[in-house]
Structure 1
Amino acid sequence: MRFSLIISIFLSLIINNVRAQEFLVTTYGASSDSTALSTIAIQKTIDEAFKSGGGTVVIPQGTFLSGALFFKSKTKLKLLKGAVLKGSDDIRKYPLIPSRMEGVKLDYYAALINAYNVDDFSITGPGEVNGNGLRFWKAFWQHRDSLKKVGKETTNLEVHRPRLIFIWKCDNVVVKNVKLRNSGFWTTHLYQCNNVTIDSCDIRSPFNPVAAPSTDGIDLDVCKKVSITNCYISVNDDAIAIKGGKGPTAHKLPENGAVEDIIIENCTFGPAHASVTIGSESIFVKNLIIRNCRVENDCPILNLKMRPDTYQVFENIKVENITGTCGSIINIKPWKQFFNLGSSKEKPFGKITNVQISNVNVNCKSLGHIEGNQHDLISGIRLSDITATAKSTLFVNKYKDVKMENVIVNGVSFDSK
């Protein structure tokens, strides 16, 4: 009995030691010369950590230039103080691989950091991951402007650019105390992940002098049990976007699905297109809580985009204890960008039910706008204990089951009669 206990303790020590192993990228040839590409050396570090049974890949102080990196089972990433993992601005350094973008399965360019089927994956700071996106942004605007001159629209996928982080089919993910900057495309994309913690991160992309298009801060795509806390997010698109699929048959496809059980808490939202958006590529969102947050922008706090080409169900959404300055408190509108029913004879519609917004004290442009598509079903929306100083007292609402209690705008009660 005693011998078995000793063996058990010995094995436990070995396992814990393996888990605690750290692999310094400079040991394997990575250079802090920010102009010298270190992709091969950093990938070798990841591979060695994997071969050794797992461990943490450590980036020390300095700027390390890299193309796409692929993390493997039982590997993690740690960026020390003063460390910068800088993405190459050459799209050739990001291979075209099976992926997921804008709610559809497709081949797309790898992100700077990629983790696929890597349970217990983590990215920790206090260092920085920088997408070095300026070249990609300029190319996007140049392409868009050239098409505009001939009366055409561009899609986000026409100019090839990498995401900063793509985490796919990973459980127990932690992204903590790290700076995420200047992504070429979406900043943090999590797809088919469960039990995710994003804590104390600083996520930014610029609006000027060159705007960083489509650089969503956090994209949750078919994910469950996610906690986003103590983060600052300011990007030139949605700060947090809830995704899951789009199109008239999206709800039938196995690669799509629900986003459920999400808590967004103690975050500050700087300039963005919206603090939290649901709908541009969403089919089912349930149990979303946004609480104890501050807004410092001119965009909606809660933005719901209703696609007329997609079946959508959004239910049990709670927004509470919000302060600061914003555009509107709630925004529900049709979203017809790139509308496409294809050859389908489906007649999609959306359903929104049980949205509770309470204890909000803000300066804003207006209270909001609630108007879906013709056949959308919208009910159970409750606004209570809201004090707003607004530039406009106009509130557009097309539905009977929108109730207000103790809602004061510019000193005037908006309570339901």
Structure 2
Amino acid sequence: MRSFLLTSIILFLFAKNVNAQEFLITDYGAGKDSTLLSTAEIQKTIDDAFAKGGGTIVVPKGTFLVGALFFKKNTKLKLLKGAVLKGSDDIKQYPFIPSRMEGVKQDYFAALINAYKVDDFSINGPGEINGNGHKFWVAFWHRRDSLKKIGKETTNLEVHRPRLIFIWKSDNVAIKNVKLRNSGFWTTHLYQCNNVTIDSCDIRSPFKPVAAPSTDGVDLDVCKNVVISNCYISVNDDAIAIKGGKGPTAHKLEENGPVEDILIENCTFGPAHASVTLGSESIYVNNLTIRNCKVENDCPLLNLKMRPDTYQVFENIKVENISGRCGSIISIKPWKQFFDLGSSNEKPFGTVKNISISNINVSCQNLGYIQGNKQDLVSGIRIKNIKAVSKSNSFNTKYSDVKFENIVVNGKLLERSQLTASEQMPKGF
């Protein structure tokens, strides 16, 4: 028994020692000339750390130009004050490899920071990871505008551009106190990860002079047990997007799955398309809490995109103690972008149930719009203790099981009859 305990202690101390190792990228030849690539030198740092049992890759003060970096088992990333990892704007620096995009298993370009099956992976600041996405954004808008002139739509994948961070099949992930800027595509994509902490991060992409398209702040894709706290997020798409798959058979595919047990708290949401969105690639979301947050935008606080080509279940969602300015408190609307049933004879529908929204104090453009597709089932929505200054005093809904309590709009306590209205559904639904 004593021998077993002694061996365990030795192994523990060894692992602790290994994890405490630090590997400075400049010791491996990474240069601070931001016009010269340091990808090979930093990858060599990661590889050496892995070969020696693991440790932390340290980026000192300075700007280092890089393409895709691939972290390995027992390696972590730390960016010191004044440190910047700046992404190359040449897509050739991002290999085309097996990946996951827009709710579909497919090959795609690597992100700037990649971690596949790296449990206990972490990224710590206070430095910055900057995607340098301007060239990609310009190319996207040019293609969109060119196709629009001939009556065609642009998909997000047509203009090749990298994400900032992609973490796949990794448990116990922590991203803390780091600045994430100007991604070419999605900013932080976590797929099939459990036990994730994103804390005290500052995540931004611009709306002008060139808007940064599809730069979601955080994408949770088939993930469980996630805490996002104390973050500021302002991006030219959804600040936090909950994903998991799309299409009429998405719920049957093993690469898809639920997003469960998510806590979003003490965050501030700047300008975005929505503060928190479920969709447009979601099949099952359960136990989502958004609390003690501030909104500083003109978009929906909680946004549910109901795809008529995908079976969706969104349940047990709680939103509480929110203040500031937003476009609407809740939005539940049909979402038919890139609608595709393929050859399937399925007739998908969505189920929304058990949503609680309480203690909201905001100025807004309207209170909310709760109108799914014709076949969707919506029940158990409870909205109470709302204090709003709004241009509109109604929650637009056709559903009977939407209950209201203590709703004060523009200083006046309103009854249900004053709060509900129902517009004709959009054509095609």
Same fold (TM over 0.5): yes
Deviation at 1:279, TM superposition (A): 2.1
In the alignment, what sits opposite 1:284? 284
Please tell me whether the aligned partners of residues 404 and 414 of structure 1 are also in contact (alpha carbons under 8 angstroms). Answer: no
Partner of 2:171: 171
The corresponding residue for 2:65 is 65
| Deviation by residue 1:86-124 (Cα, 9 ceiling, x = unmatched) | 000000000000000000011000000000000000000
Q: What residue number does 2:81 align with?
A: 81
For the residues of structure 2 that align with 1:192 and 1:10, how far apart are their CA atoms?
Answer: 33
> Which residue identity lines up with residue 57 of structure 1 in the other structure?
I
Is 1:275 equivalent to 2:270 in the alignment? no
Deviation at 1:2, TM superposition (A): 6.9
Gaps of 5+ in 2: 418-429
Instruction: Report how far residue 12 of structure 1 moved.
Output: 3.2
Deviation at 1:8, TM superposition (A): 4.9
Partner of 1:396: 396
1:201 aligns with 2:166: no
Does the aligned pair in 2 maintain the 1:173–1:196 contact within 8 Å? yes
* Residue pair 1:403, 1:415 contacting (<8 A) in 2 also: no
Shift of 1:15: 2.2
Establish whether residue 35 from structure 1 lines up as the match of residue 35 from structure 2: yes
Query: How far apart are the structure 2 equivalents of 1:4 and 1:77?
Result: 33
Give how far 1:11 is off.
Answer: 4.0
1:131 pairs with 2:131:
yes
1:145 maps to what in 2? 145
The answer to whether the 8 Å contact 1:163/1:183 transfers is yes
Q: 1:219-258 to 2 correspondence within 5 Å?
A: 219-258=219-258
Counterpart mapping for 1:184-199 below 5 A: 184-199=184-199
CA deviation after TM superposition for structure 1 residue 391, in Å: 1.7
Q: Which residue of 2 aligns with 1:18?
A: 18
Task: Describe the shift of the 1:374–1:2 C-alpha distance in structure 2 as closer, same or farther (beyond 3 A).
Answer: closer
Task: State the aligned residue count.
Answer: 417
Once the two structures are overlaid, the 10-residue window that deviates more, 391-400 or 118-127, is 391-400
Q: Partner residue of 2:91?
A: 91
Letter matched to residue 339 of structure 1: F
Residues 11 and 349 of structure 1: CA distance in aligned 2, closer, same or farther (over 3 Å): closer
Letter in 2 for 1:236: N
> Is 1:122–2:122 an aligned residue pair?
yes
How big is the shift at 1:300?
0.4
Q: CA deviation at 1:9?
A: 4.1
Quick one: distance in 2 between partners of 1:138 and 1:274? 23
Q: What is the correspondence of 1:305-316 to structure 2 with a 5 Å cutoff?
A: 305-316=305-316
Q: Deviations over 1:342-396 (max 9, x none)?
A: 0100000000000000000000001010000000000000000000000222431
Q: 2: distance between equivalents of 1:370 and 1:384?
A: 15
Q: Which letter does structure 1 place at the counterpart of 2:219?
A: D
1:218 aligns with 2:218: yes
- Secondary structure at 1:34's aligned position in 2? coil
Distance 1:4 1:204 in 2: 50
Partners of 2:381 and 2:311 lie apart in 1 by 20
* SS of 2:190 mapped into structure 1: strand
Q: Is residue 2:231 matched to residue 1:260?
A: no
Residue in structure 2 matched with residue 329 of structure 1 by the alignment: 329
3-state DSSP of counterpart to 2:328: coil
**Cα offset for 1:6?**
5.7
Q: Is the 8 A contact 1:24 1:58 kept in 2?
A: yes
Q: Note the residue ranges of structure 1 that are not aligned, 5 or more in a row.
A: none
SS at match of 1:329: strand
Quote the Cα distance in structure 2 between the aligned partners of 1:360 and 1:120.
Answer: 36
Task: Report if aligned partners of 1:204, 1:234 keep a CA contact under 8 Å in 2.
Answer: yes
Residues 132 and 385 of structure 1: CA distance in aligned 2, closer, same or farther (over 3 Å):
same
Provide the residue aligned with 1:380 in structure 2: 380
Normalising by the residue count of structure 1, what TM-score does the alignment of the two structures yield? Answer: 0.98
Secondary structure at the aligned position of 1:276 is classed as strand
Does the C-alpha gap of structure 1 residues 400 and 93 become closer, same or farther in structure 2, counting only changes over 3 Å? same
Q: Percent identity?
A: 77
- 1:196 positional shift: 0.2
Q: Distance in 2 between matches of 1:7 and 1:287?
A: 42
CA distance in 1, matches of 2:72, 2:9: 27
Q: Which residue in 1 is equivalent to 2:427?
A: none
Whether the 8 Å CA contact 1:295–1:301 is kept in 2: the answer is: yes
- 1:351 and 1:377 in contact (8 A); partners too: yes
Task: Provide the rounded CA distance (Å) in 2 between the counterparts of 1:395 and 1:8.
Answer: 60
**Shift, 1:413, TM fit:** 2.7
CA distance in 1, matches of 2:362, 2:177: 28
The C-alpha deviation readout for 1:306-333, integer Å capped at 9, x for no partner, is: 0000000000000000000000000000
